[in-house]
């Protein structure tokens, strides 16, 4: 088996500690702490830089509100990607779900699989960040067979789009997975390349245990997952520089509030 790991940028650890049991067994699990705003393109680039030297060929990225129904299908999907030379896969952020109508070229990062070995060989952080643009005359892929037609071809809605635009402009292939709504629920079913149900995405992880209706809805989807029976252990990728910047920012804000309070009480220098 190829060297495979799974990464989650976690915004709600209470939900993660429940959904992790559905993650595939037998692979390493990594976490980026996203509870204080470290997510999106920053988290993605940080994780690639941290993991590209750890002998990982394939990196599965799944948010904590992803519930795997058939986690074993992931290995078949990776084998297909390897044979067909796809560098990543996931659901389009526009053109698949009727209500998610942004870029049809980029994928939504709630779930994806990345050929980390291939990406590491061409990784260029500055070049990636320079790709947050769309040229209207540019052909980034065939859009003639999409399920929904209300997508925004020129959308730059998410800051992480640049990563997928960079891959496409580098001549790499993206495997776009099909998905649909789960009955009348707000959740999404994502299918693998054989059109088999792979996972459920509940969305709204940030509201878990905060909003009663969303919590009840997500708990119902959790009951549909396949418990892999592993030890639920994971490794946190520590971002010391972000913690320092967050500490410095918090300190400055605290001092500013203190100063304003003093000035409001007539103190001056």
Residue 248 lies in a domain: no
Residue 34 lies in a domain: yes
Measured between alpha carbons, how far is 70 from 111 in angstroms, rounded to an integer?
A: 14
Could you tell me the CATH number of the domain that includes residue 205? 3.90.550
Residue 259 lies in a domain: no
Domain range for 117 is 4-238
So what's the pLDDT on residue 268? 39
Mean pLDDT of 44-72: 96
Residue 247 lies in a domain: no
Q: How confident is the model at residue 10 (pLDDT cuts 50, 70, 90)?
A: very high
Measured between alpha carbons, how far is 34 from 2 in angstroms, rounded to an integer?
A: 28
Least confident of 119-128, 141-150, 203-212, 241-250: 241-250
Residue 186 lies in a domain: yes
Residue 152 lies in a domain: yes
Q: How confident is the model at residue 267 (pLDDT cuts 50, 70, 90)?
A: very low
Q: How confident is the model at residue 239 (pLDDT cuts 50, 70, 90)?
A: confident
Residue 262 lies in a domain: no
High-pLDDT (> 90) share of the chain, %: 83
Measured between alpha carbons, how far is 39 from 23 in angstroms, rounded to an integer?
A: 20
> Per-residue pLDDT tens for 120-129?
999 999 999 9
Burial category of 7 from C-beta neighbours within 10 Å (exposed 0-12, middle 13-18, buried 19 and up): buried
Can you tell me which residue has the tokens 């990563």? 163
Structure tokens at 129: 């960040």
Residue 267 lies in a domain: no
Can you tell me which residue has the tokens 């750890």? 54
Burial category of 174 from C-beta neighbours within 10 Å (exposed 0-12, middle 13-18, buried 19 and up): buried
How many domains does the chain divide into?
1
Least confident of 53-57, 67-71, 138-142, 183-187: 183-187
Measured between alpha carbons, how far is 101 from 259 in angstroms, rounded to an integer?
A: 45
pLDDT exceeds cutoff 90 at 167: yes
Query: How many Cβ atoms are within 10 Å of 177's Cβ, its own excluded?
Result: 22
The CA–CA distances, whole Å, from 44 to 57, 62, 92, 94 equal 16, 12, 17, 20
pLDDT exceeds cutoff 50 at 244: no
> Per-residue pLDDT tens for 173-189?
999 999 999 988 899 99
């Amino acid at each position: 088996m190829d060297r495979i790991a799974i990464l989650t940028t976690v915004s709600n650890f209470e939900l993660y500690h429940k959904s992790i049991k559905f993650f595939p067994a037998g692979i390493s699990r990594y976490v980026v702490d996203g509870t204080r705003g470290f997510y999106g393109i920053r988290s993605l680039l940080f994780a690639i830089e941290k993991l590209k030297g750890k002998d990982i060929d394939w990196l599965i990225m799944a948010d904590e509100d992803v519930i795997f129904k058939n986690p074993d299908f992931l290995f078949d999907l990776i084998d297909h990607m390897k044979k067909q030379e796809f560098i990543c896969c996931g659901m389009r952020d526009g053109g698949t779900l009727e209500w998610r109508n942004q870029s049809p070229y980029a994928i939504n990062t709630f779930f994806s699989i990345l050929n980390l070995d291939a990406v590491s060989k061409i990784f260029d952080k500055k070049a990636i960040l320079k790709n947050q643009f769309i040229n209207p005359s540019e052909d980034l892929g065939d859009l003639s067979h999409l399920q929904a037609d209300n997508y925004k071809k020129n959308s730059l809605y998410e800051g992480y789009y640049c990563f997928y635009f960079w891959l496409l402009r580098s001549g790499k292939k993206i495997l776009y997975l099909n998905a649909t709504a789960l009955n009348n629920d707000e959740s999404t079913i994502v299918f693998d390349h054989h059109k088999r149900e792979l996972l459920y995405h509940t969305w709204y992880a940030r509201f878990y245990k905060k909003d009663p209706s969303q919590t009840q809805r997500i708990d119902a989807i959790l009951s549909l997952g396949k418990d892999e029976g592993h030890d639920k252990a994971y490794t946190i990728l520590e971002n010391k520089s972000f913690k320092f910047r967050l500490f410095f920012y918090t300190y400055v804000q605290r001092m500013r509030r203190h100063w304003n309070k003093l000035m409001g009480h007539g103190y001056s220098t």
